């Protein structure tokens, strides 16, 4: 990421956006920055960390932060898992260290005189923590570089918008919320006009922040929107992805609204004619050689062959996806999106302009890329990108061929392998997968399998609204 010298806005504050290490320290010295947020992504892709007094931070900027290892043992509700190898009472919930990556530094627009810096999680002695999401992705990118490739990615993130604030939604038990707009609005300019003040802020603020937005559009679901981010080298793209989600949620709060990135937040209601509509995160990936030239599809031919390198990369992703599903679909709810009768894939097939498949090859020439349509908006980008790149490199190394090429509806094609139907099914395959262990290391597999199994156990122990609706009187 490159930056131009940070400018003051009309109020005299620094404008939001990328800032170099030297510029950050200079801004701290003259009082333009008073707070530095140091943050790292956790196993879910959420940011955790500390807000430091800027002058204290500047005394030893490379030190970063100390934090408790419980941060990689929490579940979404901050109950800690007792059976995680890396952290627990058996380790005394020891300290971790956050090493700042100043390539991620930005002036943060949601608080005056504040900057944010993402960091890599390390042991106190400086060794990278193997199970940390940024480390998992970095290792796959190192493998790609060793093979002569640079991997570039981009996320297409969908979310649902509601007129209630987060506090109001919580008080209502997240029920009977008011979608904005309250009707299907796929590509409709008028439908999106209802939330345009919020979405205009999203496009402007994110782009200023160094997370370039290509555009936004209405999606099919009630209150659903898609925002597309510009592609970048994979680690930078993953950083942008998590900053984007943080920023969208903070912007929604400013507009007294809320958003959710759940894969399928509501099952739909026939009475209100509200359809179930899942939120995806289609991930685009392309390979570039050392000269910066993408491995394009030769001559723009659109058939089931394509050039060997991309074909084998796709073959690795296709053959590996069923074994790596917890990295693409990490929650019980994730699989409810994949079961929905909408544009979510369920078949492990590929094609070109075909939205029934798990993988599409889109674009031509230097814009040629592979689109993975399986992840939902709840995905951790570091883990999904790592799974795609790691399995793709495995495909190149072993000259794997892609699976079924679909020119019609892949959902109804005979003999096509189906994606796992549940997280329980997916995690069983993941924990036993030799491919997952080879790509990620056994320690990483055990760590993320433990979280998936914990998620399954929590779900199976819960009593749901649906169970009460069907069984309260009749059981």
What is the per-residue pLDDT across 11-24, written as a single tens digit (0 to 9) for each? 557 899 999 999 99
Q: What does each C-alpha distance from 25 to 7, 19, 62, 63 come to in angstroms?
A: 15, 10, 11, 14
Task: Look up the CATH number of the domain holding residue 60.
Answer: 3.10.20.70
Name which of 315, 310, 285 is nearest 297 in CA terms: 310
- The answer to whether residue 474 sits within a structural domain is no
* Alpha helices (runs of H) in 209-352, residue ranges in sequence order: 234-254, 308-320, 325-328, 332-339
Cα(160)–Cα(279) distance, integer angstroms: 8
Q: What is the pLDDT of residues 213-267, one digit of tens each?
A: 999 999 989 999 999 999 999 999 999 999 999 999 999 999 999 999 999 998 7
pLDDT at 366: 73
User: Do 150 and 280 fall into the same domain?
Assistant: yes
- The answer to whether residue 1 sits within a structural domain is no
In the 8-state DSSP scheme, what is residue 321? G
Q: Whole-number mean pLDDT of the chain?
A: 91
- The answer to whether residue 166 sits within a structural domain is yes
Res. 301 pLDDT band, cuts 50 70 90: very low
- The pLDDT of residue 140 is above 90: yes
- The answer to whether residue 327 sits within a structural domain is yes
Cα(355)–Cα(333) distance, integer angstroms: 21
Cα(410)–Cα(62) distance, integer angstroms: 51
Task: Look up the CATH number of the domain holding residue 412.
Answer: 3.30.590.10
User: Do 452 and 406 fall into the same domain?
Assistant: yes
* Greatest pairwise CA separation for the chain in angstroms: 70
pLDDT at 272: 60
Among all chains, which residue has been given the structure tokens 């994110």? Answer: 206
pLDDT at 14: 85
- The answer to whether residue 133 sits within a structural domain is no
- The pLDDT of residue 303 is above 70: no
- Domain of residue 448 covers 144-466
Report yes or no: 297 and 370 within 8 Å, Cβ to Cβ: no
User: Do 105 and 198 fall into the same domain?
Assistant: no
Average pLDDT over residues 342-354: 88
User: Do 178 and 86 fall into the same domain?
Assistant: no
Q: Is 460 exposed, middle or buried (0-12, 13-18, 19+ CB in 10 A)?
A: exposed
Cα(128)–Cα(134) distance, integer angstroms: 10
pLDDT at 415: 85
- The pLDDT of residue 89 is above 90: yes
Q: What is the pLDDT of residues 25-67, one digit of tens each?
A: 999 999 999 999 999 999 999 999 999 999 999 999 999 999 9
- The answer to whether residue 124 sits within a structural domain is yes
Average pLDDT over residues 402-425: 91
pLDDT at 2: 47
* Alpha helices (runs of H) in 51-187, residue ranges in sequence order: 54-59, 133-146, 166-171
- The answer to whether residue 471 sits within a structural domain is no
Cα(335)–Cα(339) distance, integer angstroms: 6
Res. 342 pLDDT band, cuts 50 70 90: low
User: Do 78 and 160 fall into the same domain?
Assistant: no
Last residue of a domain, one of 128, 157, 180: 128
DSSP string of 49-86, one letter each residue:
EEEEEHHHHHHSTTT-EEEEGGGGTB-TTSPBPTT-SS
- The pLDDT of residue 8 is above 60: no
Q: What is the pLDDT of residues 272-284, one digit of tens each?
A: 667 778 999 999 9
Last residue of a domain, one of 128, 162, 180: 128
Cα(327)–Cα(137) distance, integer angstroms: 12
Res. 465 pLDDT band, cuts 50 70 90: confident
- The answer to whether residue 36 sits within a structural domain is yes
Cα 313 from chain centroid? 21
Last residue of a domain, one of 68, 94, 128: 128
Cα(336)–Cα(265) distance, integer angstroms: 9
Say how many residues make up the chain: 475
Give the residue, 175 or 342, on which the prediction is more confident: 175
**How many domains are there within the chain?**
2
pLDDT at 310: 87
pLDDT at 267: 79
pLDDT at 298: 42
């Amino acid at each position: 990421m490159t930056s131009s010298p940070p400018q003051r806005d009309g109020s005299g504050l620094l404008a939001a956006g990328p800032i170099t290490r030297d510029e950050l320290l200079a801004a701290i010295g003259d009082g333009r920055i008073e707070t530095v947020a140091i943050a790292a992504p956790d196993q879910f892709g959420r940011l955790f960390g500390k807000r430091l007094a800027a002058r204290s931070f500047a005394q030893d900027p490379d030190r970063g932060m100390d934090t408790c290892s419980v941060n990689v043992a929490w579940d979404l509700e901050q109950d800690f898992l007792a059976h995680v190898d890396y952290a627990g009472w058996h380790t005394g919930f020891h300290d971790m260290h956050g090493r700042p990556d100043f390539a991620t530094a930005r002036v943060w627009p949601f608080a005056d005189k504040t900057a944010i810096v993402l960091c890599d999680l390390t042991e106190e002695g400086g060794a990278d923590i193997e199970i940390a999401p940024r480390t998992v992705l970095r290792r796959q990118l190192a493998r790609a570089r060793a093979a002569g490739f640079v991997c570039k990615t981009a996320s297409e993130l969908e979310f649902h918008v509601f007129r209630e604030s987060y506090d109001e939604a919580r008080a209502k038990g997240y029920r009977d919320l008011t979608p904005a707009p309250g009707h299907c609005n796929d590509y409709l300019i008028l439908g999106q006009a209802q939330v345009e003040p919020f979405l205009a802020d999203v496009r402007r603020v994110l782009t200023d922040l160094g997370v370039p937005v290509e555009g936004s559009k209405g999606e099919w679901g009630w209150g659903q929107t898609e925002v597309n981010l510009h592609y970048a080298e994979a680690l930078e793209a993953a950083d942008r992805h998590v900053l984007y989600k943080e920023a969208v949620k903070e912007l929604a709060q400013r507009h007294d609204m809320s958003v959710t990135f759940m894969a399928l937040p509501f099952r739909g209601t026939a009475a209100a004619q509200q359809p179930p509509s899942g939120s995806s995160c289609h991930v685009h990936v392309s390979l570039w050689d050392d000269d910066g030239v993408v491995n394009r599809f030769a001559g723009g031919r659109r058939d089931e062959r394509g050039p060997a390198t991309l074909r084998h990369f796709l073959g690795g992703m296709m053959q590996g996806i069923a074994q790596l599903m917890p990295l693409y679909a990490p929650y019980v709810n994730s699989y409810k999106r994949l079961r929905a009768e909408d544009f979510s894939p369920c078949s492990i097939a590929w094609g070109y302009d075909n939205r029934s498949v798990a993988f599409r090859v889109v674009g031509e020439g230097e814009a040629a890329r592979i689109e993975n349509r399986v992840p939902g908006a709840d995905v951790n980008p570091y883990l999904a990108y790592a799974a795609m790149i790691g399995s793709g490199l495995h495909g190149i190394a072993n000259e794997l061929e892609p699976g079924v090429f679909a020119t019609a509806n892949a959902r109804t094609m005979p003999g096509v392998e189906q994606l796992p139907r549940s997280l329980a099914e997916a995690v069983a395959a993941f924990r036993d997968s030799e491919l997952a262990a080879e790509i990620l290391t056994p320690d990483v597999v055990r760590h993320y399998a433990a979280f998936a199994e914990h998620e399954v156990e929590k779900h199976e122990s819960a009593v749901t609204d649906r169970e009460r609706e069907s069984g309260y009187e009749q059981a």
